Every structure is written in structure tokens, then in C-alpha cells.
Amino acid sequence: MVLGAVGVGIGFMTSHKSFEEVEQLLAEESHHGGGHAEEASHDEASHGTHAAVDAHGDSHGESAHAEVDEHAKHIEHVQHQIANRPWSALYVAAFFFMMIALGVLAFYAIQIASQAGWSPVLFRVMEGITAYLLPGALIVLAIAVASGTIGHYNLFVWMDPEVVAHDKLIQGKSGWLNIRGFAFRGLIFIAGWSLYRHFSRKFSIAQDTAEDKSNFKKSFRISAAFLVFFIYTESMMSWDWIMSVDPHWFSTLFGWYVFASMFVSGITVIALISIYLKSKGVLEFVNENHLHDVAKFMFAFSIFWTYLWFSQFMLIWYSNIPEEVTYFVTRFQDYKLPFLGMVVMNFVFPILMLMNADYKRIPWFVVMAGLVILFGHYVDIFNMIMPATVGDRWFIGLPEISSVLLFAGLFIFVVFTALTKAPLLVKGYPFRKESEDFHY
């Protein structure tokens, strides 16, 4: 236990360093945000000179050419896209790390509800990761709401009353898509998830010293209930937080698609953190058989993700209905590399790397595949959000990388702090012995 505390303390210190590092980066980022505004005005100016004479004539009034109008609209459009970029970068990164915690929470609940015999030795790692859920989800919701209140409707166009006034389609959806309802629903989702997380953690720790199995039974029941709640709220969350960046577009399997993405990244993070803690010598009871099982989950859910990704893509591509297909047209034209690159990273790479049973037992191999999968799913979220907010003005540059570093630092800080709060092995859990002796 002392060794565990020391090992986690080391992990905590290394994560703390990276946290400060990112804080510095955040400052840089806000500086960069300023740079962006400059760039935007500069861009506007250069476009402006092009149309200066016309615009001049326009301001003077009488003959407003349609051409000028269009040009001004274009500038406005581009300016808006550029202003959106730091917002979207922040949002993508915040959502990415939130969804890891949420995916792990769902995985954790499934392990308890299915009474899995192999995973209890990893429960404390999972509980540590899900500690990020509450702050992470609140940050995501805060960014989303702030973009509609403080910001200039930088993420969700339906938050802009002027846009809605001219848009019959969004008007028709305003019963669902309004800021108040959005915030309210978001808070309900987060409250439900966090309550489950809070109580399952409480029961799990109480079970360590309990005489009987009542805590285990309670956590079993709330896990089953949570899974029902989760699958509804996760779907709605994906409509609210992701799909509504394109309020003209909808897809029925979108919730599952987002779920697959969060689930596989969550499992990957469980693997990475377990391997890290094991290498520090605080998880002796985790052996290569556990690693093998987690890697199998990474492999299988990478394929599941691909299945949903392709099902969504192919159905829309095949029928080619204009109002649906624009979603993929913009992604294919402007985002060819990330759009196809993520399929390689999330499917081709893991399927070839993790197919061999022996490779799944080699830590560095799993770490390597895991990092590629994580990066691939970041790009996945990037592909969901960016085309709607910045369009063809995307780039993975300073705002994106520094937001990722910021939230990675925060994530690591929160997770490793939570890991120090409890012993890393569940004591009184009924399947602990089986899990410790687990071998495949």
C-alpha cells in the first residue's frame, strides 16, 4: 500500500509538471487567440482591398451591387469561421477527454452488471479515470453554453437568434434546440452520470471493509439502472453536443457511433494507465492476461466503431439524398486527409496490430496501438465538429494542440489525484480472487 502510494505519488508529480506546462500553453493559446483576431482582421483587410472600391461605393449608398453583397457575405463568413477556430479547438479537446471518462464509466458499469470475473483488479483504475467525468462534462457544457452567450455563437448556429429568424428548418427544431433546454438537458445528463459515479465509487470503497456483500449488491443494481439511463442520455447528448453543430443534418445511428468512439477510447485509456501504473510497480496483481483482455476489447471495439462509421457513411453515400449527403460532401472535399486518415488509424492499424494474440500481451505494443487509436478518435471528434464551425479553414495547429495539451494535463491531474485516494485493489469485492487468478 505504501509502495502504491509512493508510485502513484510519482505519477502524480509527473502529471503535475505536465499540468503546469499546459497552463503555460494556455496563456500562449489565449495570446494566439489574439493573434487570430489579428489574422482575421488582416484577412478581412486583404479581402477588403479587393472590394474596397465597391464597398466604398456601397457605404455611400445608391448602387449596391449583388456582387458586393456576396463578397461582404463571404468575408463575414470567413471571419466567422476563423473566429470559431479556437472555440472549436477547445470544444473538441474538452469533449474528447470528457468522452474518455464517460466511456470508461459505461465500461465500468457493464463490468459490474455482467459480474465479470477478470476485471475487478482494474476497477480502481477505472474509478480513477471516471473522476474526470464531472469536471470534464461541466467544462464541455460550459464551453457550449458560453459559445452561445459570451461568444458570438461560435459553435452552434442555432443559438443565434438572427440565424433562426431566417431559417425555417431550425425554427422547426427550436422546440428541442434552444439554449435553455440545451443547458437543462446537459445538466440532467451530467447529474445522472455523476450520481452513478459517486455512488458506485462509494459502494466500492465501502465494500473494502464491509462484512457482507450488501454494497456489492447495491452497486450491481445501480449499475444496471445506470446503463439504461446512460444509453438514453448518451444518445441525446450526442444529438445536443455534437450533431447540433450541423442543425440541418441528422442521422439515426449517430448516438451509437459516438458511443463506439467513446467506448473504444475509454478502454484504450484503461489499458494505457494500467500499463503505466504496472510499470511503476503498483499494480502487481495485473498480469498480461488482463492486458490481453483489454487489448481484445480495444480490437473488437475498433472494428465496431468502423462498422458504425461505414454504415453511416455508406447508407448516406448510396442513397445520395442531397439534404443528407452534404454532411459527407464537405468532409470529403475539405477534410480528405483527416476523414480517411482516421479510418486508417481507427481500423486498419488496430486490426493489423492487435490481431495476433501474442502481440496483445506485449505492453509496448499495446501502448503503441493505443496511442494511434486515441489520436484517431481525436481526429474523429475533430471531423464531427470542425467542418460545421470552421469549414475549410481547418488546421491542426497551435489552438488545437494546446487545447489538447491543456485538457490532457487536466485529465492526468484529476485522474492520478483520484488514484491516490483509494487503494488500487478492491478488497471485499466478490470476484476479486477470481480476477487476481485470472489467466487466459
Partner 1 sequence: MEASKVIHAIYTDDDILMSAVKKVKAEKHHIEEIYTPFPVHGLDKAMGLEPTRIAITAFIYGLIGLTVAIVMMNFIMIEDWPQNIGGKPSFSYIENMPAFVPIMFELTVFFAAHLMVITFYLRSRMWPFKNAENPDPRTTDDHFLMEIAVHGNENELESLLKETGAVEVNLVDKAH
| 63/141 Cα distance (integer angstroms) | 46
Shortest distance, CB of residue 358 to partner 1, whole angstroms? 10
| Contact map string, positions 11 to 30, toward partner 1, x by CB under 8 A | --------------------
Shortest distance, CB of residue 369 to partner 1, whole angstroms? 17
Our CB check for partner 1 shows the closer of 176 and 317 to be 317
Shortest distance, CB of residue 321 to partner 1, whole angstroms? 12
User: What is the length of the chain?
Assistant: 440
Shortest distance, CB of residue 253 to partner 1, whole angstroms? 16
The burial of 319, by beta-carbon neighbours within 10 Å (0-12 exposed, 13-18 middle, 19 or more buried), is given as exposed
Our CB check for partner 1 shows the closer of 27 and 314 to be 314
Q: What is the 3-state secondary structure (H, E, C) of 253-296?
A: CHHHHHHHHHHHHHHHHHHHHHHHHHHCCCCCCCCHHHHHHHHH
Among 62, 162, 166, 318, binds partner 1 (CB under 8 A): 318
- 317 is an interface residue for partner 1 by CB under 8 A: yes
Among 314, 321, 340, 348, binds partner 1 (CB under 8 A): 314
Shortest distance, CB of residue 267 to partner 1, whole angstroms? 23
Shortest distance, CB of residue 294 to partner 1, whole angstroms? 20
- Kindly state the number of chain residues that form the binding site for partner 1, as judged by CB under 8 A: 8
94-153 positions binding partner 1, by CB under 8 A: none
Our CB check for partner 1 shows the closer of 239 and 440 to be 440
CB atoms within 10 A of CB 12: 18
H or E, element range at 67: helix 66-113
* DSSP, res 425: S
Our CB check for partner 1 shows the closer of 168 and 439 to be 439
- 355 is an interface residue for partner 1 by CB under 8 A: yes
Which of these ranges, 171-179, 285-293, 312-320, 394-402, lies near partner 1 under the rule CB under 8 A? 312-320
Task: Find all residues with CB under 8 Å of 186, minimum gap 6, and list them.
Answer: 137, 141, 144, 145, 237, 240, 241
- 333 is an interface residue for partner 1 by CB under 8 A: no
DSSP codes, 159-223 = G-HHHHHT-HHHHHHTTTS-HHHHHHHHHHHHHHHHHHHHHHHHHHHHHHH-SSSHHHHHHHHHH
Our CB check for partner 1 shows the closer of 236 and 315 to be 315
Query: What torsion do the CA atoms of 87, 90, 91, 96 make, to the nearest 10 degrees?
Result: 160
Shortest distance, CB of residue 271 to partner 1, whole angstroms? 22
Asked if 75 contacts 377 with a C-beta cutoff of 8 angstroms, the reply is: no
CA 307 to chain centre: 19
Shortest distance, CB of residue 336 to partner 1, whole angstroms? 13
Asked if 101 contacts 266 with a C-beta cutoff of 8 angstroms, the reply is: yes
| Contact map string, positions 268 to 307, toward partner 1, x by CB under 8 A | ----------------------------------------
Shortest distance, CB of residue 313 to partner 1, whole angstroms? 7
Indicate the SS3 state at residue 132.
coil
Asked if 413 contacts 193 with a C-beta cutoff of 8 angstroms, the reply is: no
Contact residues toward partner 1 (CB under 8 A) are 310, 313-314, 317-318, 320, 355, 357
